[in-house]
Structure 1
Amino acid sequence: MTVTTLAHPIPAVETYHSADGVLVKVTGRIDVHSVADLRRRLHPIIDDTPGPLLLDLGDAVIADGTALGLLLECHRRGLRRGQEMRLVALDERGRRLLRRLALRRHTAAVW
């Protein structure tokens, strides 16, 4: 489910707590138009999560460089708090982008 504003859908964010940490499922397109809204939703989750953050992007589309920048920003924000971020699902295009930019080593990716 996405909310539409000015013809740019905002990605949906759902959180699930488990023994392994907090699973955050993002659905929708992450791009220059949606990254600010997504940042406002993810930062409080990172700040309030004591354990690992498991980021599920299997139903999300990493559409441009701002999306990759947000992933790296969230990873670094968690590291400052002593928290690990793991990507637990990612579409094929997102995997290729992360491999190409060598960001995989920075995100403890699991896929």
Structure 2
Amino acid sequence: MYIRGDHAELVVGGRLDVRSAADARTVLHTAVDSGHGDLVLDLTALDSWDATGLGVIMEAHRRAGRAGRRLVLRGVPPQMQRLLVATRLHRILAIEGGLEVETLPRA
């Protein structure tokens, strides 16, 4: 897992899982606490995440809200979009450009 960027936009790549959660949490909390305005997480290079990684994203979302900021996800890979829909977190998290139509549940 790697995270690079400034306090307005971070690129998250590799795996966001139980092994990388502590480091990711530290970087995200620092970025939220040190900046202002939207914090964009570019997930284009993210290979996978597990429940712990999703928890880190949700913690950053809540922390940003408490700081008067908004966490915005950009470039969410399709398999992760499906997970956000399945957990209904797509209704809570800000996702730049929305979700691709084929990831939404069919009526």
TM-score by length of 2: 0.84
Asked whether the equivalents of residues 52 and 83 of structure 1 are also in contact (C-alpha less than 8 Å), the reply is yes
AA matched with 2:69 = Q
- In the alignment, does 2:74 pair up with 1:88? yes
Decide which of 3, 6, 23 is 1:13's aligned counterpart: 3
Runs of 4+ in structure 1 deviating by more than 3 angstroms, as ranges, are none
AA matched with 1:109 = I
Q: Which runs of 5+ in 2 are unaligned?
A: 98-107
State how many pairs are aligned: 97
Equivalence map 1:1-111=2 (5 Å): 11-16=1-6, 22-111=8-97
Partner of 1:5: none
Shift of 1:96: 0.7
Larger strand proportion of the pair: 1
Supply the distance in 2 between the matched residues of 1:43 and 1:16 (Cα, whole angstroms).
12
RMSD between superposed Cα atoms in Å: 1.3
TM-score by length of 1: 0.81
Supply the distance in 2 between the matched residues of 1:12 and 1:109 (Cα, whole angstroms).
21
Asked whether the equivalents of residues 14 and 25 of structure 1 are also in contact (C-alpha less than 8 Å), the reply is yes
Partner of 2:102: none
SS of 1:97's equivalent in the other structure is: helix
